[in-house]
Structures are given as C-alpha cells and as structure tokens.
Amino acid sequence: QVQLVQSGAEVKKPGASVKVSCKASGYTFTSYGISWVRQAPGQGLEWMGWISAYNGNTNYAQKLQGRVTMTTDTSTSTAYMELRSLRSDDTAVYYCARGVEMATTTLGYWGQGTLVTVSS
C-alpha cells in the first residue's frame, strides 16, 4: 500500500532553515510527483509546490519563490522540502502528498504531517 512517512517535528529560530523529508513506499517512486502543502495553526491549507520524481521539475507557489527548494532522492524514494529564512508565520504543519493519478496533483495519499515551529 502507498505510504508517505515524514520526518519528525522541528523547532527553529527566525532566519534559520528547515528541511523536511518524506519517504515513499508501496509504489514506483518515479511514476508520481510529490506535492507539499502546509497548514498554519487554526488556518486553511496552503499549496507550496510540486516536484516530479521522474525528472526533478518543480513548480512553486509564487509566495514562496526564492525561499523554498524541493528535491528528490530516487535511490531512497525520498522527497525533501527545504524552507529558508524562516519567519514566525512559517509555523505550520507541513504535509507531503501524492496524486491518485500520474501527472496530476489530486492528492489522494498524504504523509502524517511534520510540525515546524519557528520561535525565538
């Protein structure tokens, strides 16, 4: 069965960087892209971006351009999301997710979420 297992919670200071991992299993990793979605406490869902696990192509939300980098390691079937220059409003649960269909972001499979807290 498809599983996405994310790394554990992080506490970071403003200005620092965080890198969250998402290890996939149960399918051919390079056949599907991985999306990243975050949710601030008590708020809605925010789409952050998508990476093709096939060729590494990325699309990022305009709001995060220049601060976010998504990568994959096909040897370990793991996707990564790095966010730099952290601010307090980056405090959120970060999810990785996979589409139910190839080449779409209809997010039918989700990781368990990683809480990132940014605080001085």
Partner 1 sequence: EIVMTQSPATLSVSPGERATLSCRASQSVSSNLAWYQQKPGQAPRLLIYGASTRATGIPARFSGSGSGTEFTLTISSLQSEDFAVYYCQQYNNWLDTFGQGTKLEIK
**Residue numbers of the site for partner 1 (CB under 8 A)?**
35, 37, 44-47, 50, 59, 61-62, 95, 97, 100-101, 104-108, 110-113
Sequence-distant (6+) residues with CB within 8 A of 79 are 21, 22, 24, 34, 51, 53, 70, 71, 72, 73, 96
- Beta carbon of residue 59, minimum distance to partner 1 (angstroms, whole number): 5
By beta-carbon proximity to partner 1, the closer residue of 2 and 16 is: 2
- Beta carbon of residue 86, minimum distance to partner 1 (angstroms, whole number): 22
By beta-carbon proximity to partner 1, the closer residue of 15 and 37 is: 37
